[in-house]
Each structure stands twice: as structure tokens, then as C-alpha cells.
Structure 1
Amino acid sequence: MTIHYQVYGEGEPVVLVHGWAMHSGIWRDFAEQLAQTRRVVCVDLPGHGLSAEMPEFTLESVCEQLSRIVDSKACWIGWSLGGSVSLAMARLFPEAVSSVVLLASNPCFVENADWPGMPENQLDLFAKNLSVDCESTLLRFLSLQINGLPEFKTLSKKLSAALRESRMPTAKTLQDGLTVLKQADLRQVLAELRLPVAAMLGEKDTLVPVRIGEAMQAINPYLHLSVIKNAGHAPFLSHRPELIESLNEFLAQP
């Protein structure tokens, strides 16, 4: 199958992995700025953007495909679902990963008694609504990512335009992605990770609660935690300078 990706700049490699239902185009402005000092690779996950769909969208099968596009160790920056992919890459293909950044991401997205996350019934509702009206469901999901931010209207236009910029994933790919979000529990991977790892969270994120940062540090005390003040679920769109600063600080560490 074919994995589509774009490369910006030269230098130490960074791989950007987008979130559920999106594609690599969502990174464009952010990637161009980051590429002033690094080689930035933006990938389309299978079935998203210009990448071919796969029979079954699982973390294992996705990582197998992504492993074929990297030729050296890189920092993997995963947004939302992309964070799960990045952690799985570190476990399955450690030769391709030098460090991991979980951007507005959670190693276990579903909340339980001892872990903050999304209510399981919220993910179930998304899954149910996809079969009724796919586009409207995706637009509602996008609005949750920036809900409550002062620049809501501007960001909403950016997200909606990005969604329509490329072909929409099929209902099956979207359902499979929701299944990953619902079932994947990568806390043990995070706990055992011996690579540099960072979590960069939006203070006002309604999908990945900011208190998840302390929970992640509790299981991996070496985790580098940054909280982007007043940001929501897409800080690379709303708070790009602050996020670039946090990334440069993390990546500059020996």
C-alpha cells in the first residue's frame, strides 16, 4: 500500500502524525516554521489524506506501514490519535524513534476510576452518529477541539477548510480509528519508555484534560511536561509560537 508524506526543510528529523479524521495538511503552517531548523516529515495515516486505505486500521498495522518511510531515528510528534501511533512506534520499531512528543494526546483516551480521559459514551455517540451523517459528526468533533477559545470562529474555519482540503476517510476507517481511541491502553508503554518523552497539553483542552499531565508523570517521572496556556486541543493552530518554543526546549535537551 502507499503512505503519502511530505518533507519540509533539512536537519534533525521530526515526524508529525495527525489525529483522527484529519490529514497531514493540517500541519502545513506549523511544519514550515518548524522546518526552519529541522527536517520535518508530515505523514497521512492509512485511509486519510492521500494514503491508501488498509483492510484493518490497527496500531500494529499502521506502524508497520509507517516504519517503511523512515530511514533514520526521528522525533515522533503525535497529535491526539497520532500520539497513540507514536507510542506504538516506539514500542514496535524502536530503531525508528529517538524521542516522542504526545501533543494533546493521552495514552489511554477513555476515562476510568483512576485515569482522566474522555467519557466512553462520548466516543460511542461519535461512532453511532458517523453512520447517520459522517460530515456533520466530524464537524461537531472539530468544534469540540476549540470549544471555549476566543478565536473559535477563526479556528473553526481553518479546521473545516483543512477537513475538506482532501478526501474524507471512509466510514470504516473512521470507525476503526475510534476503536483504537476507545480500546488502546499504552500506559505501560509510556511507563517503560527509556527514550526522551514529552507531553504538551492545552490548558483548556476539552478532549484531553490537562490534569492527564500529572497522571503521566506519575507513571513516567522522566516525562517532560508543558502546558500551553489558554490553548485547546489544537495548539499548533492556535498557539504556534508557544508550542514551537516548548518543542525547541525539549529537543535541545541532551
Structure 2
Amino acid sequence: MTKIHVEVIGQGQPLVMLHGWAMHSGVWRGFAEKLAQHWQVICLDLPGHGHSEVVTPFSLENIGDALLQAIPVQHFILLGWSLGATVAMSMAERHPERVQKLIVLAGNPHFVQADDWPGVKSEVLDAFIELLKTDVQQTLIRFLALQVNGLSHGKALLQSLKLALQACPPPQIATLQAGLDILKNSDLRQFIQENHLPVSLILGDKDTLIPLATSQALQRLNPNIGLHVLEGAGHAPFLSHPQQLQDAINTML
């Protein structure tokens, strides 16, 4: 059994939180403590990230299985951010009996742009994949910078993300590479279209990784999806707009 790092704070209905690519659960500890005033917040490090052991291969199925075994409650609300949102959608698709509600935070079931779908341009991810081969640290810094690009207080947010990232050793290159491959190749749109679980989407209107048009595309797939757009927020609203994000989550739940 893969050792997964788990932190539990607060009391109430369980809310499981999954972080994004290259990060660890400490990235939103301050925000999780705010949520813990109302919920039992369960933060996990993805396999190979933070203090969690690696799974091989680093696939959505293996990631989800390792996390589900580590979650200390049977039923829970599931919130995933960025890569964590992709993992969360896959977990809800494969094990809907355990997920009571799904919150997709700055996530996209088809992360890469296609002719009929908004997303990140494929060459952007390809550039990160190529840079990883020669300079891991520069790759991580560029990815963090992309998350706060165009925000009025982007420099301060970038510093917060850097400090959070440095709190744990970075994942192995193979894990980082596999995570980018998941973002590049996963397509969970059919799950969104056919899903009967309550799903809510939270996006920032300044997010450079998840275009705002994603919200309309998702609601065309499934009109039952809830939507909340955070004005002025980028890809990491738990840092830039914590109160607005907390209010949105409380309203959805």
C-alpha cells in the first residue's frame, strides 16, 4: 500500500482537497484552516509529491486508488485544483459511491486546447516538458509565474507560491513528466456529460491556464453544472482571493 501523507483539521462534513502539479498540500494550509471553521478538511499530498510515496506508473487510476485508500472517511466532498481537479474528476468517475459532491477549482476535463474546446495551447505544455529535461527548477518557476501572470499583485503571489513549493523537496523528474502527460492527454469530458453527481466549477476570470470560455463549454456538456467566476482571480485564488473563494465554496456546499 502506497504511503500517502494526510492532514485532517476541523470538524463537520468531510471535505477532501487535492493540490496541483509539482505542489503539495501545504500550498493551501492557511486557506484550509479557514475552511476548517465549517468543515472537516482532509488534505492529501498526491503520490510522489510532498511527503507521499511515488506510484508507478503515475497514472490517473493509480493516483486515485492510492488516495482513496488513504482517505480516512468513506464519503466526502471532493475539491481538486488544477492537476488535482483532473485527479478528482477521475476519482468521481470511477468511484461515485464515495464522492458526495465534486468541486473543480481552476480545472478542465480536457486541459489542452482543441478545435472544439478551450484550453492551454499544446505548445505551452510541450515547452514545459522539454525544459524539464534540462532544468527542473526553472520549469517550476516558469509554471508558477504563469499562474499569476497578469494579476495586479502577481509578484507577491509568486513569492508565496515559491515559498510553499520550497517547503518540500520537488517531485522526481519522472513524476513531474508524468503529471504533465496526464494534463496533456486526459479527456474527462464524457464523464462531465454523463455524470449525475453534483458538480461545481470555480474559475478566475484572469486565469491564463483555464480560459473563462471553459465554463460555457462545460455547461453545454452538462447544464446541471454549477458555476462561480471569481472576478480578478487567476489560477491560484486560494492565495489571491481567499475570502471570495471561501464564500463561493460555502455557498455551493
Question: Matched residues in 2 for 1:161 and 1:96: separation?
Answer: 34
Local SS of the residue matching 2:155: helix
Is this contact kept in 1: 2:108–2:210, CA < 8 A?
yes
Per-residue CA deviations over 1:94-132 (Å, capped at 9, x if unaligned) read 222101011000000010111000111111110000011
Q: Superposed, which structure 2 residues align to 1:157-196 within 5 Å?
A: 157-196=159-198
User: What's 2:156 paired with?
Assistant: 154
Is this contact kept in 2: 1:67–1:93, CA < 8 A?
no
User: What's 1:231 paired with?
Assistant: 233
Paired amino acid for 2:87: V
User: What's 2:142 paired with?
Assistant: 140
What TM-score results when the alignment is normalised by the length of structure 2? 0.98
Per-residue CA deviations over 1:27-55 (Å, capped at 9, x if unaligned) read 10110000001000011000000001122
- Tell me the percent identity: 47
Offset at 1:228?
0.2
Paired amino acid for 1:33: K
User: What's 2:25 paired with?
Assistant: 24
Is this contact kept in 1: 2:56–2:62, CA < 8 A?
no
Is this contact kept in 1: 2:117–2:217, CA < 8 A?
yes
Offset at 1:76?
0.7
User: What's 2:127 paired with?
Assistant: 125
Question: Matched residues in 2 for 1:145 and 1:202: separation?
Answer: 11
Per-residue CA deviations over 1:211-231 (Å, capped at 9, x if unaligned) read 100100000100000000000
Offset at 1:90?
0.7
Local SS of the residue matching 1:94: coil
Unaligned runs of 5+ in 1: none
Number of aligned residue pairs: give it. 251
Local SS of the residue matching 2:220: helix
Offset at 1:191?
0.9
User: What's 2:35 paired with?
Assistant: 34
Per-residue CA deviations over 1:128-180 (Å, capped at 9, x if unaligned) read 00011001110000000001111111101100001110010000000000010
Offset at 1:248?
0.7
Unaligned runs of 5+ in 2: none
Question: Matched residues in 1 for 2:44 and 2:145: separation?
Answer: 23
What TM-score results when the alignment is normalised by the length of structure 1? 0.98
Offset at 1:200?
0.1
Is this contact kept in 2: 1:77–1:86, CA < 8 A?
yes
RMSD across aligned positions (CA): 0.7
Paired amino acid for 2:205: E
Paired amino acid for 1:58: S
Is this contact kept in 2: 1:8–1:40, CA < 8 A?
yes
Is this contact kept in 2: 1:126–1:137, CA < 8 A?
yes
User: What's 2:90 paired with?
Assistant: 88
